Amino acid sequence: MSKIGKAPIKIPEGVTVEISERTVTVAGSKGTLFRKIHPTTKVKIEGGEILVSSNAKDKVGHSIYGTTRALIANMVKGVKDGWTKELELVGTGFKAEVSGNDLILTVGYSHPVKIEAPEGISFKVEKTIISVSGCDREVVGQIAANIREVRPPEPYKGKGIKYRDEVIRRKPGKAAKAVGAPA
């Protein structure tokens, strides 16, 4: 059995959880999320905590058990506090701006790149830092990945769009390679 799956999830104040058949609905100040549950997994509420259990006998059922618990915990945290991913623009002349619900990136192409925010997602730009915020962790992560995909960081100068905490492995250029070569 999963050690993660056994841990109970505390329901904080201001968050309501409803379980109906195969669906878990979590509502809070940041929004409402719902998720369908695998048939081998059981979810119940006892004493202000969410308990996840499994009656699976196969490997797939055991792996879904721990994943289900983690997904529900992410939903609870998301509707209470929200999730944020930060990206950084690295490069001369690279800039980003928010126009309504859209993010407009100027990152060295002949045209600006426009990224639309789905419902529940908001963008914030401060100098070279882009913040993607929302209550659904999966959507926040996917939108951040889509923004990074517009201009991924390159290994020679490190220019591009990278996650704030990402470390880019740099490669030496031709000049560094030629220094050690015999004449």
66 and 13 housed in the same domain: yes
- What is the tally of structural domains in the chain? 2
Q: pLDDT-based confidence at 182, cuts 50/70/90?
A: low
Q: Are residues 88 and 67 in the same domain?
A: no
* pLDDT more than 90, % of the chain: 75
Instruction: State which residues form the domain around 106.
Output: 83-163
Across 136-152, average pLDDT:
96
Q: Which of 50, 53, 51, 77 is nearest to 65 (CA)?
A: 53
Q: What angle do CA 157, 159, 162 make, to 5 degrees?
A: 125
Please say if the pLDDT value at position 102 is more than 60: yes
Average pLDDT (153-169) is: 93
**pLDDT for 4:** 79
pLDDT in tens, 125-135: 999 999 999 99
- 36 and 75 inside one domain: yes
Q: What is the pTM assigned to this prediction? A: 0.86
Asked if 73 and 92 sit in the same domain, the reply is no
Alpha carbon 164 to its chain's center: 13
Q: Quick one: average pLDDT of 109-123? A: 94
